[in-house]
Structure 1
Amino acid sequence: MVNIIYLGYFFLGVFTSYIILKNGIKFFEIFFLDNPNKRSLHIKPIPSAGGLSFIVPLIIYDLIFASFNNFEGIVSLSLLCIPLIFISLLDDLIKVSPKYRYLFQLLTSFLILGFSNISLFLLNPILDIFILIFLLIFITAVINFTNFMDGSDGLVAGCMFVLFLIINYKLNSNISLIVLLGSLATFIYWNWNPAKIFMGDIGSTFLGVYFVANILQFNDLKEIVGLLLIASPFFGDALITIFRRFFSRQNIFKAHRQHLYQRLYLGKLSKQEVALIYILQISIIGIVYIKLNFVYEIVSILSCLIIMYYLEKKYALSFEEAMNNKLT
């Protein structure tokens, strides 16, 4: 009976997302059309801000659940993300200054930390401040890394689907996550190559912060680290690319096409193949973590790193060539 109820919530997300995308596609084309530029991997204008299709069903459910409890008790994580949702939607619409975007990212990160299950305060006030600053920087980094990785059809949505599926398993089924998974499943269908719609900054930044918000609900630091490391192929690409650009004296804040996932596509692989490589690696690391232990997870991450190094050398456009490469 319980499984049927959970399945019902999953399809609630599926159908709600489908209704939004099916009936709102013209709206997205008018107000959120993403025109390609020299940093894009698409060559035709594609409607964006499709992240609303999985954000709206989740917030609606969380608001209904909160109203049944007279807005008392546990605060819904999606509602804590509203400042970031607002500024990201505005950025998709009219483009917002980076400093204002980061300010709202910090605000949302602070709210997430305030309702997390980790202990922020120790006996040393100075150490407490450093821990708080580190965690704020960490959360905003995850938000931006997720946004950086949102440049190829199906990649972010597919990887995040696997990550939230694993978190949901660890939480013994969370209805909010089940609704999100259903909505993401529909969006993946629309976002898979050739993409009919992109998730936009509103979708990628939300998925990034909501991912962190959920893993911070665990009170075991080892569990938090273990869940975070499952996303190593995903966030590792963004982190390694930043370091490579920094040490090659490039502007790390400037848009580019030097992430490995971009260079694999600019080289010899299709967008479907690139997305499946990342999704498969995250799935394998996740299964290893769940079925075995932390040590085996590290081994699987190192194995994936070796595989990605091989794929880079065999199929990817070189790091240097990727900056000036133009799609035809």
Structure 2
Amino acid sequence: MQAILTVLLAFFTGLLIMPFVIKLVTKNNVVDKPGGRKIHKEIIPSMGGIGIFAAILVGLLVGLDLNHWQNLSYILVAVTLMFLLGLQDDRVELSARYKLLGQLLAVSVILIGDVRISSFYGFLGIYELPMGLSYFLTGFVIIGLTNAFNLIDGVDGLAGLLSLVSFLFLAIWFLATGYLAFGLVSLACVGGVLAFLAFNWHPAKIFMGDTGSLTLGFLLAILSVLFVEANGKQISHHHYFHFNAPITAGLALVLVSCFDTLRVVIKRLKNGRPPMAADKSHIHHFLMRAGLRHDQVAIVLGFVKISFLGLMVTLSSFSDMILLPLLLGSVTLLCLFLDAVTLRKVKQIARETPGVLVLEEEEGIQSENLNSPSKLQKEPA
């Protein structure tokens, strides 16, 4: 009952508050204008993350009891800091330096709360990590995953759908294994994101902005770390929901955004460009150029994520030594396949589309015909 109330309250709160957020940000001119790297052709209000964050908080107010609030205090403070960072970035567009400093502050709070990657759980023969390495690795992973999710937010519905799949998976796993507080947080995220998607699905009425993408990406990164840690060290190996490959299972939760970012960075470095340079080389840009609509891109990549999570569940008895190379190899082949198919489709579209000069010539001929007297018209006497 507690779980149902949490997700429903978050969902309906999001549905009710999002129209007010749209009006508020539009009135204050916090909008995403077309042009440059933007795919959309109309001015769309941003900062939909305000509605998502409010919906999550309202859901948690009902779902969590006092003990849960105390246990989650560090996480909730850190998420609030990340939300405020995204809010400020949407308002004034912070420099990369200030954004990194803000993210480091939020991660520091998480580490103080002892949320960290403490072990490799036997992968490569490594178990417990030295404290310093544990803190560094956790901070690096959380900041990396947060920014990777931020970068995948490029077409209507994509970031929302990908995060929805992950939060739903985490909610089921945490609740089934007895981690009620983490399960309720995941369910509140499910309700908030689902309500947002009602306004962000193509054609979008609002974007989540950095207010939403940084907050959701940060939450997803934290919950993924908790999932890996709990699965690797605390859940019995005989439990039905235990994964013998905790690292690989955790990676599957952030698969699309993580590998898309890695793929783009490698391509930029290979071409002699800065790794963080803005361009249209993300996988959703490629799929759009292949002729897919926003909603089709979101569904395709959402299906990819669900497929890999299903693979992890099916092969849950295998270790990281087997599943991690299998996952990395499968994703690499999939990326190469999508690149090849997309490039072939783009070339086909280019061949079938008249060139600019041809279009201008045709328009000139049509204009000339419209302006000349008809041959059937009688000349004045």
Residue 53 of structure 2 corresponds to residue 26 of structure 1 = no
Residue 13 of structure 2 corresponds to residue 16 of structure 1 = yes
Partner of 1:314: 341
Task: Name the stretch that deviates more: 56-65 or 244-253.
Answer: 56-65
Partner of 1:156: 159
Residue 304 of structure 2 corresponds to residue 281 of structure 1 = yes
Partner of 1:88: 86
RMSD after superposition:
2.7
- 5+ residue gaps, structure 1: 322-328
Structure with bigger gyration radius? 2
> Quick one: which amino acid aligns to residue 10 of structure 1?
V
> Quick one: which amino acid aligns to residue 104 of structure 2?
L
Of 205, 210, 214, the match for 1:205: 214
CA distance 1:230–1:154, change in 2 (3 Å): same
> Quick one: which amino acid aligns to residue 162 of structure 1?
V
Aligned residues: 312
Task: Name the stretch that deviates more: 179-188 or 218-227.
Answer: 218-227
CA distance 1:92–1:13, change in 2 (3 Å): same
Partner of 1:141: 144
Of 159, 167, 172, the match for 2:170: 167
CA distance 1:116–1:166, change in 2 (3 Å): farther
Contact 1:9 1:175 in 2 (8 A): yes
Report the Cα offset of residue 298 of structure 1. Answer: 5.7
> Quick one: which amino acid aligns to residue 200 of structure 1?
G
Task: Name the stretch that deviates more: 8-17 or 74-83.
Answer: 74-83
- 5+ residue gaps, structure 2: 120-128, 233-244, 351-381
Contact 2:25 2:31 in 1 (8 A): yes
Partner of 2:246: 223
Q: How does 1:1-328 map to 2 (within 5 A)?
A: 2=1, 5-31=2-28, 32-62=30-60, 68-69=66-67, 72-75=70-73, 77-118=75-116, 120=118, 128-172=131-175, 174-218=183-227, 219=229, 220-221=231-232, 222-293=245-316, 294=318, 295=322, 299=326, 302-316=329-343, 317=346
Report the Cα offset of residue 291 of structure 1. Answer: 3.4
Paired with 2:191 and 2:98, the residues of 1 have a C-alpha distance of 32
**TM-score, normalising length from structure 2?**
0.74
Percent of matched pairs sharing the same residue: 23
CA distance 1:285–1:298, change in 2 (3 Å): farther
Cα deviation digits, residues 5-56 of structure 1 (max 9, x gap): 4223222111100111122211121232111221111111110110112111
Paired with 2:248 and 2:73, the residues of 1 have a C-alpha distance of 23
Q: Which has the higher contact order (CA 8 A, sep 6+)?
A: 1
Paired with 2:251 and 2:341, the residues of 1 have a C-alpha distance of 28
Report the Cα offset of residue 135 of structure 1. Answer: 2.5
Report the Cα offset of residue 143 of structure 1. Answer: 1.2
Paired with 2:61 and 2:216, the residues of 1 have a C-alpha distance of 18
Contact 2:5 2:62 in 1 (8 A): no
